[in-house]
Structure 1
Amino acid sequence: MDRSAVVAKTVVSLRREAERVVDLVVDRIVAEIPSYAAVPRDRLRPGVAASVHDGIEFLVDGERLPVTADAAAVGADRAERGIPVEDVMHAYRIGVRTVWERFAREARRNDADPGEVLQLAERVWEWADGVMVRAAREHRRVDLETALDAQQRRGAFIRALLSGTLDRAGLHLQAAAFGLNADREYVPFRARGGGDARGIVTALVPYFPHTSPPVTLLDGDVAGLLARRPGERVPGDVVVGIGPSVRPADAVDAFDRASRALDTAARFGLSGVYDLSDLGLRSAVVTEDEVGTLLYERYLAPVQDLPDIERTVVTYLSGGMHVEDAARTLFIHPNTLRNRLRRFEEVTGADLRDHATLAELWWALAYQSLGDHPPRGG
């Protein structure tokens, strides 16, 4: 839009006092926004000066697109200094309001046309909105990068702590930097399931030591430290292996136990929270593959073509070795069940009254449930 001679004269007058306006804007920002008090004036003034001069130049023709480079730099700098984006927007509004107040006062003194001044005011705020959007976008980008960087550094620290590659000499300082007390005990854990890592972290939120969970991703699992052991169940289809409560410096062995507990529970299709003591011999079944193979071949391979015999033995053992109860479960006569048990003993050489045999048979059945045995008919 064309500017009248009066408005043009007013703009020229405003140009002459631009530096005083910059100082006024800086004073107002520091006075009104507490978060800006820590910003040195020599770092605050250049950004304010650029915005004030751009605003005045926009008053010249009102058609120029917003200058965004300085706004982006200002947004990034304020984010790095920890100034909230809301305060950055407040500072920009102070600047625009101050410039416009000086312009409007001078325009009235020069008897400028009120309609022209109002129309110019609308365009100025439209221009200012574009500048503020760019500053806010850059502020949020830096905020996100800073958060991601902090998360990555926390993750690297936790991985090093749990794997034993952390420099123990600086452990106290590094732990404190991530909100951990090196003299306090924590519960190492490893978890999977529940859909994704975020779901697992959400399920464990009540058990973390603070609001920034000391967790990381490790081979697809969520791993880290808890303030206390979770309850037996956690929301969702999540399985969690935990180790004993230890200080961060002693987390390696405890985390190894948590990993073994997780692997064991997951292999047996369990969900919930487990340490190795909860799983008993199951962990040995998982790790001692050779023993499992030998016991499978001793007790189960001979009856692989006799499914009724195997099903009868499993039902009998799982029901507490009560003949009548097992027979009712299988819908057979008790004598039929006794005959099948006797047949099993004949084929395998097992003695179902011998405790050692029963323990070995349990092991063979547990190993078979893992799916690691040779395929039937193979």
Structure 2
Amino acid sequence: MNRALASLAQRLHEERHALVGSAVELIYRELNSYRSVPVEAVRSSLEKNIARAITTLRDGKVPEADTGDEAAFTTRERAEQGVPIEDIIRAYRISLRVIHDRFIEFANETPSSVEVVLRGSNLLWAVGDWFTARAAAEYQHRAIHDAVRRSLERAELLRAVLAGAADSDTSRGRVAAAGLDPAGQYAAVKALPREGVSPEQFCRAVELSGSVGARPALMAQFGGVCVGLAPRRPQVADLGFVAVGPHVSLPRIPESVAVADRIFSLTNRPFQGVFGVEEMSWRLAVEAEPWVSGHLRSKYVEPLAQDGEFGALVLESVRTYLACDRSIKHAAAALVVHQNTLRYRLARFEEATGTSLAETDVIIEVSWALQQVPPPHH
């Protein structure tokens, strides 16, 4: 059988140039994606493809799984020319079809046994499977490599824009290439996913939600935190915590970054929601006035420290009371305590601090002081 296959393989070898020509014609006729690929590049690849098929018939064995440099090279070259993986594989199978059809014709002209024809056909289609596996692996490797490269380029661009280099000669072209509008208004965004949501999923959700038509948001991950720019306020409150700076022109983005950073550091996570200047208002001044903050902490927080865990309960009760617009009913329900228990805790706070929660100045000062005290994690 091997001698008969070798004889048929020799006849195919003698017609290899004609076989290449037939395969080239079929590929350009059946695959539109190849019309931008130079004919000589296709011809060169087909010469290797057909040589591989003929060698397989002659030797009577399928190529080893770990071989296939020509398959990887062809896949890389076609991918760079914009040919999708399915058409790369179809082109290879077209070349196999051409050689298989001619193989059958030669076999019918000679007293070849059914076993020889079947063996030869199986070898040729096994070559197709070998190429498909190698091409798919190379294409996937390339896709991962390209994705990593784009991610790094995006992160590098974001660093430059967030640092205020959007208007530099080196960044201006990259900004436009990334889809950002050089004349548009953008807000700096700093976001953290809630537990159970992957940073990749969250970053993508923020990006989609913050985009406006042809004006995309641009986000990247830095240490598990999603950072970037958005032409509109993202709406992903159910997926995690988002700090949003004010909308400004790209050259002024560092100003928006400073506000988003402050909101990110001030807001007590694991809160969920979208927080901007509208939500934080006066709280943004807390960090900017350390002397005032220190004074108010000593006045309203430290007097409860001597009460230990009960003091922490009192402070949390005051925080909840103020968050509920000083409604005893609603605050007690939020704390899951009796209303009289809440009243006792509030009275203890007033006693320890020597103040009254009925006074406007005290309410403002206590709210400021408690902004520096993270709530307990339940």
Under a length normalisation based on structure 1, what TM-score does the superposition of the two structures give?
A: 0.82
**Aligned residue type for 2:367:** W
Per-residue deviation, residues 196-220 of structure 1 (Å, max 9, x unmatched): 3123124322333469862112343
1:80–1:142: 8 Å Cα contact kept in structure 2? no
CA distance in 2, matches of 1:169, 1:135: 40
Tell me what 1:189 maps to: 189
1:342-375, CA deviations, whole angstroms, 9 ceiling, x for partnerless residues?
Answer: x946x6454656533432233223333469xxxx
Number of aligned pairs?
362
Residue 280 of structure 1 corresponds to which residue in structure 2?
Answer: 281
Shift of 1:87: 0.4
Cα deviation, 1:38-76, whole Å, max 9, x if unaligned, reads 111222222111111111122113125355121111112
In structure 2, C-alpha distance between the alignment counterparts of 1:324 and 1:197, rounded to whole Å: 39
Aligned match of 1:218: 222
Letter in 2 for 1:366: Q
Q: 1:14 to 1:149 in 2, by over 3 A?
A: same
Deviations 1:283-340 (A, max 9, x none): 2234444432221212333344355899399377666568999999542798x899x4
CA shift in 2, pair 1:148/1:252, >3 Å? same
For 1:69 and 1:18, the matched residues in 2 are separated by 21
1:241 maps onto 2:243 in alignment: yes
CA gap 1:142/1:156 in 2 versus in 1, 3 angstroms: same
- Looking at structure 1, the residues matched to 312 and 79 of structure 2 have their Cα atoms a distance apart, in angstroms, of 72
In 2 relative to 1, CA 321–356 (structure 1 residues): closer, same or farther, beyond 3 Å?
same
The residue matched to 1:149 in structure 2 has which SS?
Answer: helix
1:34 Cα deviation (Å)?
Answer: 1.0
In the aligned structure 2, how far is the partner of 1:41 from the partner of 1:81? 12
* Cα deviation digits, residues 214-253 of structure 1 (max 9, x gap): 211234310112232134x5222x1101122233333221
> 2:177 maps to what in 1?
177
Q: Give the TM-score taking structure 2 as reference length.
A: 0.82
Please give the secondary structure, in 2, of the residue aligned with 1:252.
helix
**Counterpart in 1 of 2:314?**
311
Query: Which secondary structure does the structure 2 equivalent of 1:133 belong to?
Result: helix
> Which of residues 249, 252, 264 is equivalent to 1:250?
252
In structure 1, the gaps of 5 or more residues are: 372-378
Aligned to 2:340: 331
Which residue pairs with 2:373 in the alignment? 368
- Aligned mate of 2:261, from 242, 259, 262: 259
SS in 2 for 1:128: helix
Q: Residue 3 of structure 1: SS of its match in structure 2?
A: helix
The alignment partner of 2:246 has SS state of: coil
- Change beyond 3 A, Cα 1:43–1:247: farther
Q: Which amino acid is 2:175 matched to?
A: A
2:211 alignment counterpart: 208
Q: CA deviation at 1:18?
A: 0.8
The answer to whether the 8 Å contact 1:10/1:110 transfers is no
Q: Is the 8 A contact 1:159 1:216 kept in 2?
A: no
Whether 2:298 is the aligned partner of 1:297: answer: yes
Consecutive unaligned residues of structure 2, counting only runs of 5 or more, are none
Amino acid at match of 1:20: A
Question: How far apart, CA to CA, are the structure 2 residues paired with 1:288 and 1:123?
Answer: 79
SS of the residue corresponding to residue 367 of structure 1 reads coil
Contact kept? 1:188, 1:225, Cα under 8 Å: yes
Query: 2:371, 2:148 → 1: CA distance?
Result: 44
1:252 and 1:122 map into 2 onto residues whose CA distance is 65
AA aligned to 1:93 is: R
Q: How do residues 71-90 of structure 1 correspond to structure 2 at under 5 angstroms?
A: 71-90=71-90
Q: Shift of the alpha carbon at 1:91?
A: 0.4
Distance across 1 between alignment mates of 2:289 and 2:203: 32
Q: Which moved more, 1:290-299 or 1:75-84?
A: 290-299
Distance in structure 2 (CA, Å) of the matches to 1:242 and 1:326: 29
Distance 1:138 1:316 in 2: 62
Structure 1 distance, partners of 2:300, 2:181, is: 52
Change (3 A) 1:239 1:301: same
1:358 counterpart = 2:359: no
Pair 1:269–1:289, CA change in 2 (3 A): farther
User: What secondary structure sits across from 1:305 in the alignment?
Assistant: helix
Q: Does 1:162 align with 2:167?
A: no
CA displacement at 1:119 relative to structure 2? 2.3
User: Are the aligned partners of 2:305 and 2:311 in contact in 1 as well (CA < 8 Å)?
Assistant: no
1:264–1:111 CA distance, 2 compared to 1 (3 A):
same
Aligned 1:135-146 pairs, distance under 5 A:
135-146=135-146
1: CA distance, partners of 2:57 / 2:289? 81
Preserved contact between residue 6 and residue 59 of structure 2 (Cα < 8 Å): no
1:79·1:139 contact (CA, 8 Å) conserved in 2?
yes
